[in-house]
Amino acid sequence: MITVEYCGYHTHNPDRDRIYRPLGTASYLFIIVLSPMTFYFPDRPARKARPGACVLYTPGYCQHYEAEKDFFNSFVHFLCDGDLVDAYDICKNELFYPDNTEEIHWILKKIYQEYLNRFTCSEQMMDAYVRQLLITLYRRQQAQVPYKHLESIYGEMLALRGQMLGECERPWTVEELCGILNVGKSKLYKYYTLFFHSTPREDLIQARIQKAKYLMSNETVSIKQAAYDAGFTDICHFNRMFKAQCGCTPGEYRRRMHGNIND
């Protein structure tokens, strides 16, 4: 279980205040910087931090930072097993700049509200929010664009991919995707594979099969209807794709869920 030891949201200290804990603390400390600061590290040069910078200090690591003028940040001290944090492979004891600071701030705000008000089950909620914070940081780190000059097309493709998979029953075509992004087929496949390690077709089939499986959980819906409603137009193609991905036919899959059902 993760225990929140102390936290602050939109915290102001005196101007040019300095924090110096040469032996660190017994807890992890996550900070999001809201005003220019300088961070000092025992094993590398000092670094200037602009608003939006984050740092995750590990227990026992020197914590040394000071404000250039206004001291303004949000933070959370938390105790947990080190294996839990290590599992997410987040940057530790160094500055980094995630691109989802609004989401991170929202999570810190929820932690702060639970810590301050001590609602029913606050300990469990704070545990859940800190886990959400770690997962959010990890996801953004994993989603870093390989090349800086591709950030714009990455954002556009990520949004379009989300729309395509969320509306997988639609008859999406490569031509439509290219038209929305204003790129040719070769660039579409090149960037899609680079960013998502898959192809639009593979992603779409996977999403449609997942939707069909969900629809088949309703005993009033036939396998054929589930396939069509999920976006498949050919039941034989659906059967082949389903068996290739799930290792069984749709009928076998359904019988495992509900017993013998005639389709």
What would the pLDDT profile of 211-260 be if each residue is shown by its tens digit?
A: 999 999 998 999 999 999 999 999 999 999 999 999 999 999 998 886 65
Sign, CA dihedral 156-157-160-162, equals: negative
- How do residues 186-208 score in pLDDT, each as one tens digit? 999 999 998 888 999 999 999 99
Q: Please report, to the nearest 10 degrees, the dihedral formed by the alpha carbons of residues 199, 204, 210, 216 taken in order.
A: -150
Q: What is the mean pLDDT of the chain?
A: 91
- Per mean pLDDT, which range of 59-63, 140-144, 149-153, 223-227 is the poorest? 140-144
pLDDT (tens digit per residue) in 66-109: 999 999 999 999 999 989 999 988 999 999 988 778 999 999 99
Q: What does pTM read for this prediction?
A: 0.70
Instruction: Tell me the pLDDT band of 155, cut-offs 50, 70 and 90.
Output: confident
Share above pLDDT 70 across residues of the chain, in percent, rounded to a whole number = 95
Do 136 and 107 touch, CB atoms closer than 8 A? Answer: yes
CA distance 157 to 26: 42
**Cα–Cα distance, 206 to 200 (Å, whole number):** 10
71-79 and 44-49 beta bridge pairing: unpaired
Spacing of C-alpha 136 from chain mean position: 4
Task: Answer for the pair 206, 246: CB distance below 8 angstroms, yes or no.
Answer: no
